[in-house]
Amino acid sequence: MTFQSLSKLSERDPNRIYMFIVGGCGEFGMNLTIYAHKGQTYVVDCGLSFAETYEIGVDARIPDISQLESILGGPPTAYLITHGHEDHIGALPYFLERWPAPVYIGPWALELVREKLLQLKNNKPYTFHEVRAGQTIRLAEMNVHWVHVPHSIPFCCSLLLEAGPHRVFHTGDFKLNGFTPYEASLNLENLKALAAQAPILALVSDSTNASANGHCPSENIVRPALTEVIARAEGVSFVTTFSSNLWRLQTVLLIACELKKKVLIFGAGMRRGMEIAGRLKLLGDEAACLVDEEGSRKVDRKDLIILCSGCQGEYKSGLKRIVFDEVAFMQAKEGDQVIFSSRVIPGNEKPLAKLMSMCAFKGIATITAKEFPGIHVSGHAYSEDLKSVMDALQPTYTIPVHGTFIQLDANKNLTTKPTIDVANGQITAMNAEGVEVIANHDLNLLFIDSWSRRPMTYDTMRERHKIGDSGLAVVTGIIQNDNLDIDIDFIGLPFDSDDDADSIKNRMQNELRGLVRNLRASNDFSFDSFNERSRLTVRRTLSDRFIKKPVVISKVMILGEATHGLAARK
């Protein structure tokens, strides 16, 4: 079948709405779904996923934008962002560089995206439209209703997408119970009213906690639990949580005011969250308990709370730097306590274990939700919450997304009505008459460098990994007629000693002299032929010695007329 772009497919088939899952199915992170109708394409969320531990020098992964452009047939009509977590906005700055389409986004997420663009030194004038719950945005071939949902970040919304007769409710991340009085709970009656206006074709639903029984608790239960733990402190209380969770940060401030303690915000992520909250006027009188570094020195240790980043044991996070004595003005001491008001994200067990081990060594108590369950609640709906939304909307189809296949299956099993199985790379066309899988694409990834923050291809990342795993040898120098000046540098190779390395280098230099003679004798002496044969010769010698094949770069310059003098020399 001749390949047709998604925009062309949807243009020629206006009786169906198309859904292209780019990320977030079969994995946690990289939530990105593209909807298409009558030739228009809409990107709902634009997230990243965090790198695996073996991906050296890589912070995150994002979809390959150039590949997506060929599948879509061009840039999207608009971006529609549900909220400001990294797995929903982290890739957006990179997409905007290639696809500068209008962005419809809530105020908190917008602040975060603008900061990310500044970090990338990108000052281009992109078009941002700030939206809030209750608004309806009218776009080409689609209307979008922004519906308030509670979550662990402000201004989170679900999206009701209306494309002709097709109505799709895309939940994004959500839970039912809000944080009184700061965040309203989800209004199920409002959902029923939306469904009564016209049938909901599909419910595209968060599956993160589909395996958890019952209802996800409200953020309100955290305050009494944290109050109890902080009140008994004999030293400093270090409280760490996700820096984007304003409701948790606000809870700590409220507790501090109640207990007449002071709060120091430490860590770049935490400070950024509080600065955004200030700009958006989300803090009240509770902000009065905040102190800066100088002010914290004047507070008794038992009356000080340090709200810091590092709940996952991140390298160079605020908490880790304090615990490992890398902060001049503040040390964690025996009698202090570290409160982890968070969950462990899979993959972070080792850095957290190292952090907790150091706390134990220094006599610092560590308290987690395992020992004291009330100090953390999730921001994602449990099974009964998911059922409540299904019952309110009565969709023709339920489409589980956002999770591994374990969570997707658990979500699927919550209803007896038709469900649609989806996976990354799949394009599905649907209407009230039926569902059809149009295509399955094997999607490529780009990898975000830890320092430059620039994306690189898989081949580049693999080459970096290869160098880190097997080492590097660099051959440089000049060949000019009968004069050879060739040097070889070794990086990351396990020689027994400097003398051992010099011995191998001398041996390889002699081999390269012989290579010059052989190439000249065969009339195949050129820059390209010599450097390729040089690379293979050095790699073979090192592979014989170390088993692994290191990366070898050969850049030897050839100057002047090549003579056959060396061919005759013995």
CATH of the domain at 555: 3.10.20.580
pLDDT of residue 271: 92
Residues 6+ apart with CB under 8 A from 19: 33, 34, 35, 36, 168, 202, 204, 399, 422, 427, 428, 430
Q: How far is CA 6 from CA 9, 12, 19, 69, in A?
A: 5, 10, 9, 10
Q: Which residue range is the domain that position 71 belongs to?
A: 6-215+379-456
**% of the chain with per-residue pLDDT over 90:** 81
pLDDT digit string, tens, across residues 510-519: 999 888 888 8
How far apart CA 171 and CA 419 sit, in angstroms, is 15
The string over 151-161, giving b where at least 16 C-beta atoms fall within 10 Å of a residue's C-beta and e elsewhere, is: bbbbbbbbbbb
pLDDT digit string, tens, across residues 266-283: 988 899 999 999 999 999
**% of the chain with per-residue pLDDT over 70:** 98
Asked if 266 and 236 count as a contact pair (C-beta separation under 8 A), the reply is no
Q: Residue 352, class by beta-carbon neighbours within 10 Å (0-12 exposed, 13-18 middle, 19+ buried)?
A: buried
How far apart CA 157 and CA 134 sit, in angstroms, is 9
Q: Is the pLDDT of residue 1 over 70?
A: no
pLDDT of residue 2: 54
Last residue of a domain, one of 433, 456, 479: 456
- Residue at 502 is within a domain: yes
How far apart CA 318 and CA 173 sit, in angstroms, is 27
Instruction: For residues 38 and 135, state if they share a domain.
Output: yes
**218 secondary structure, DSSP code:** P
- Residue at 520 is within a domain: yes
Q: Which residues pair with 474 in a beta bridge?
A: 489, 553
Instruction: For residues 130 and 61, state if they share a domain.
Output: yes
Instruction: For residues 309 and 246, state if they share a domain.
Output: yes
What number is the average pLDDT over the span 155-163?
97
What number is the average pLDDT over the span 121-144?
96
Instruction: For residues 206 and 225, state if they share a domain.
Output: no
- Residue at 123 is within a domain: yes
pLDDT digit string, tens, across residues 377-406: 999 999 999 999 999 999 999 999 999 999
CATH of the domain at 362: 3.40.50.10710
pLDDT of residue 562: 46
User: CA dihedral in degrees (363, 369, 372, 373; nearest 10)?
Assistant: 180
Tell me which of 568 and 176 has the higher pLDDT.
176
How far apart CA 326 and CA 238 sit, in angstroms, is 15
pLDDT category at 480 given cuts 50, 70, 90 is confident
Instruction: For residues 425 and 447, state if they share a domain.
Output: yes
Count other Cβ atoms within 10 Å, centred on residue 285: 9
pLDDT of residue 542: 93
Q: Is the pLDDT of residue 570 over 60?
A: no
CATH of the domain at 18: 3.60.15.10
- Residue at 464 is within a domain: no
Instruction: For residues 369 and 388, state if they share a domain.
Output: no
Instruction: For residues 254 and 267, state if they share a domain.
Output: yes
Half-sphere exposure of 505 (CA within 13 A, CB side): 19
Instruction: For residues 206 and 273, state if they share a domain.
Output: no
Instruction: For residues 327 and 424, state if they share a domain.
Output: no
What number is the average pLDDT over the span 312-330?
90
Lowest mean pLDDT among 27-41, 140-154, 190-204, 451-465: 451-465
Asked if 257 and 289 count as a contact pair (C-beta separation under 8 A), the reply is yes
Whether the ω angle into residue 181 lies within 30 degrees of 0, i.e. cis, is yes
Q: Is the pLDDT of residue 230 over 80?
A: yes
Instruction: For residues 90 and 193, state if they share a domain.
Output: yes
Instruction: For residues 402 and 428, state if they share a domain.
Output: yes
User: What value does the mean pLDDT of the chain take?
Assistant: 92
- Residue at 241 is within a domain: yes
Q: Is the pLDDT of residue 563 over 90?
A: no
Q: Is the pLDDT of residue 123 over 80?
A: yes
Of 505, 506, 537, 503, nearest to 519 (Cα)? 537
Instruction: For residues 93 and 154, state if they share a domain.
Output: yes
Q: How many domains does the chain have?
A: 3
Half-sphere exposure of 429 (CA within 13 A, CB side): 16
Asked if 23 and 30 count as a contact pair (C-beta separation under 8 A), the reply is yes
- Residue at 336 is within a domain: yes
Copy the structure tokens of residue 222. Answer: 């955290």
pLDDT digit string, tens, across residues 61-103: 999 999 999 999 999 999 999 999 999 999 999 999 999 999 9
Last residue of a domain, one of 456, 480, 513: 456
Of 337, 319, 341, nearest to 242 (Cα)? 341
Q: In which residue are the tokens 């170390």 written? A: 546
What number is the average pLDDT over the span 236-258?
94
- Residue at 462 is within a domain: no
